Amino acid sequence: MTDAVVFDLDGTLVDTPRAIVETFTAAFTAMGAEAPDPAAVRATIGLPLEQAFGKLLGIPLDDERVAEGVAQYQRLFREIILPRSRELLFPHVADGLAELHRQGFTLTVATSKFYASADALLTAAGLRELFTVVIGADQVSRPKPDPESGRAVMAALGIGPEQAVMVGDTTHDLLMAKGAGMRSIAVTYGIHSREELATVGPTWTADTFDEVLACIRAAFPGTGEGR
């Protein structure tokens, strides 16, 4: 049986919120637009880039400035975030993921990043080979919080929701999991507060990545150390 863990990226594995704000600010500057308030940018983390730029600019998603903003962001992402990927990993993430992989868990990612950005970030952080499936926002028609991303992971692995658990730091992640029928682990060290996360009823809540590992082992007592 395949026991799969579906991870979000930003705010869950990689401490990117500050760098994301920096990249959005640089993108707005490159567009000749006034940079948004950092709190407004943070509020969009977890949404696809098009939705984030649409919200921040106050324009429809089909406006050409949204596409320009996305293009500028992707260019600056390669300059600002990728070189810092390893140092941005949350404590114990690298060792914890390697241990889960060694114990036989199937590791996957469902992210609001485009696939190319997610793949590049994981590669730069030295983690890509640990993940069997990576689903980006541009690989589905309805990104998180819609359950399509979670269902895409399960379809790729040929498993049902009882064989998967989602780990994420926003209500978007948890709602995706709930819609796909998965259990979920909410992490409190990312974007959304413990109180916000609690509103959507995660199965478990973890304050550190070590606690995430403990929750995963509790979810699948027949895999790894729990075997």
pLDDT tens-digit map of 177-192: 999 999 999 999 999 9
Q: What is the fold, at CATH topology level, of the domain defined by 17-80? A: DNA polymerase; domain 1 (1.10.150)
Residue 32 φ then ψ, to 5°: 75, 25
The domain 4-15+87-226 is classified under which CATH number: 3.40.50.1000, 3.40.50.720, 3.40.50.80, 3.30.2130.30? Answer: 3.40.50.1000
What Å distances lie between residue 90 and 191, 223, 227, CA to CA?
13, 24, 27
pLDDT tens-digit map of 24-72: 999 999 999 999 999 999 889 878 899 999 999 999 999 999 999 999 9
Contacts for 43-48: CB closer than 8 Å, 24+ residues apart? 45/10, 45/11, 45/17, 45/20, 45/170, 45/191, 46/8, 46/10, 46/11, 46/112, 46/144, 46/169, 46/170, 46/172, 46/173, 46/191, 47/112, 47/143, 47/144, 47/172, 48/112, 48/137, 48/143
Residue-level pLDDT at 227: 41
Contact 106, 132 (CB under 8 A): yes
Q: Is the pLDDT of residue 225 over 60?
A: no
- Active-site residues, by number, are 8, 10
pLDDT tens-digit map of 8-23: 999 999 998 888 899 9
